[in-house]
Amino acid sequence: MRQLQWPADTDQPADTDQPAGAAETVDALLAGRLAQALDRPAPQQPVWPDPDRAREVGALLRRAAPIVTAAETARLRRELAAVAGGQAFLLQGGDCAESFAENTEAHRRANLRTLTGMADVLTRRTAVPVVKVARMAGQYAKPRSRAVDAQGLPAYRGDMVNSAEPTRAARTPDPDRMLRAHAAAVDTMALIRRLGRGGGPEARAAAGGDIYVSHEALLLDYEQCSLRTDLGGPEPRLSSGLGHFLWIGERTRRLDGAHIAFARLLSNPIGLKLGPDTTPEEAVTYVRRLDPHAEPGRLTLISRMGHTRVREVLPPIVEKVTASGHQVVWSCDPMHGNTYTSANGYKTRHWSAMADEITGFFDVHRALGTHPGGVHLEVTGDHVTECVGGTGGPAEAELPARYRTACDPRLNAEQARELAHVVAELAARSVRDRKGGPR
Ligand SMILES: O=C[C@H](O)[C@H](O)COP(=O)(O)O
Ligand SMILES: C=C(OP(=O)(O)O)C(=O)O
Ligand SMILES: [Mn+2]
């Protein structure tokens, strides 16, 4: 698989529409499609104060080595096909936002250990393989509800864009941060490889076998780098070397927008967040658009409906998508639909609301006879106090003690483990139902 060849003398893909044939022609075709995709409206993008520097950074990044290999990504695609087919579960999780300051080896190891620990709970209880996908090695860009924060400053948009520090200078988007984020992601992937392979028994236990990496494909100036021509699928596509799995967020999934068009071009498995306003008709439109060749596991639909809505909103979506014949992975994000501000002013989530949304998600799939494929969580191994509840978890008044997140509140290791037991019970029941044959 080759790096996508950009037309000579320019940093931008050519706007051309030639038929596929020789290698250069396929590259030109894909580069043209990419240019068309990126030309569409793109919400949540920073305005770089120095566009020339942003272009220079883009050119540097396009020459950088990929973070993940195409072979690994292809393996994840096969494993997600098994999830879509009901033979495995998906566990995806990590920080809401990685940050340069928190990117220590201890932090990353703790997060990996937490993910692995949760996977162990699930595997032991269900005896079904668990595919582990970390929100890591590229999760540095954030969509925001408001462009301006409470103090009137430009919002923090992730360390890849600006700094969380509350000054106007720090909040000014800086394209060089994309280089730092890329270097940090390379470093994180190297750590994961070290733990997984040559790291010795202790390290191997910490990593727990293969861990894939994922992030939200949000910042298009970053995402258009590290693209390789992939001729292995039903049509020529682009394999992103920036992560194994990329997802499109709730705030950037407009159907006529750049993010959906970009995801359509990728051969990586992709995810799509679906909030409570999604209609079944919209869901099917996304599925047809993003999985045009009906490849099992190509698309993961990550519902984040909120615990009060999931039982009402999800069933018609699952029914309509199932009737369309596409085999998607159904995943539940119980975090983003259950966020609220505590009485003392902290953005938080209650453990019980998450457990309830997950329970609702499994109940919906049980009633419809479909496979509740997995969960998507914001979680850390650090001893933080960001989400309330769980046995022994903090109350609202205790949130200030160790509230460290760069963006959204994460479950700490104890809360995560307790939630893993809830998921494991529900998953075990679902496995039993399936073994019992059609109901
Ligand atoms: O995950 C992150 C999103 O950026 C977040 O949920 C939006 O947060 P905001 O409402 O604080 O902007
Ligand atoms: C921004 C996120 O989620 P959503 O797009 O579902 O709001 C996220 O996963 O951090
Ligand atoms: Mn988040």
The ipTM (two decimal places) reads 0.98
Q: How confident is the model at residue 22 (pLDDT cuts 50, 70, 90)?
A: confident
Q: What per-residue confidence (pLDDT) applies to 24?
A: 83
pLDDT digits (tens, 9 = 90+) for 269-326: 999 999 999 999 999 999 999 999 999 999 999 999 999 999 999 999 999 999 999 9
CA–CA distance from 179 to each of 54, 60, 80, 168, 228 (Å)? 10, 8, 30, 22, 19
Burial class (CB in 10 A: 0-12, 13-18, 19+), 127: exposed
Structure tokens at 211: 């861990």
Q: What per-residue confidence (pLDDT) applies to 7?
A: 57
Pocket residues for ligand 2 (CB within 6 Å)? 96, 143, 249-251, 273, 304, 333, 336, 408
* Range of weakest confidence among 103-117, 136-150, 423-437: 423-437
Ligand closest to 250 (CA) is 2
Q: How confident is the model at residue 200 (pLDDT cuts 50, 70, 90)?
A: low
- Name the residue of 44, 301, 408 to mutate for ligand 2: max ligand atoms within 8 A of Cβ: 408
Q: Where are the domains of the chain?
A: 46-435
Give residue for tokens 């919400």. 43
State percent of the chain over pLDDT 70: 93
Ligand 2: centre distance to CA 181 (Å): 19
Give residue for tokens 């494909």. 217
CA–CA distance from 63 to each of 57, 168, 231 (Å)? 10, 32, 21
List of residues 6+ apart from 63 with CB closer than 8 A:
none
pLDDT digits (tens, 9 = 90+) for 346-388: 999 999 999 999 999 999 999 999 999 999 999 999 999 999 9
The answer to whether 321 and 376 are in contact (CB under 8 A) is no
Ligand closest to 340 (CA) is 1
pLDDT digits (tens, 9 = 90+) for 229-271: 999 999 999 999 999 999 999 999 999 999 999 999 999 999 9
CA 52/CA 55 separation, integer angstroms = 5
Question: With 70 as the cut, is the pLDDT of residue 77 above it?
Answer: yes
Pocket residues for ligand 1 (CB within 6 Å)? 96, 142-145, 336, 407-408
Radius of gyration of the chain (CA): 21
CA 252/CA 261 separation, integer angstroms = 11
Ligand 1: centre distance to CA 407 (Å): 7
State percent of the chain over pLDDT 90: 89
* Range of weakest confidence among 24-28, 31-35, 110-114: 24-28
Q: What per-residue confidence (pLDDT) applies to 11?
A: 54
* Range 46-435 classified under CATH 3.40.30.10: no
Residue 328 is classified by DSSP as P
List of residues 6+ apart from 30 with CB closer than 8 A:
4, 227, 229, 236, 237, 238, 265
- Name the residue of 44, 92, 96 to mutate for ligand 2: max ligand atoms within 8 A of Cβ: 96
Q: What per-residue confidence (pLDDT) applies to 9?
A: 40
pLDDT digits (tens, 9 = 90+) for 79-97: 999 999 999 999 999 999 9
pTM for this one? Answer: 0.95
pLDDT digits (tens, 9 = 90+) for 121-154: 999 999 999 999 999 999 999 999 999 999 999 9
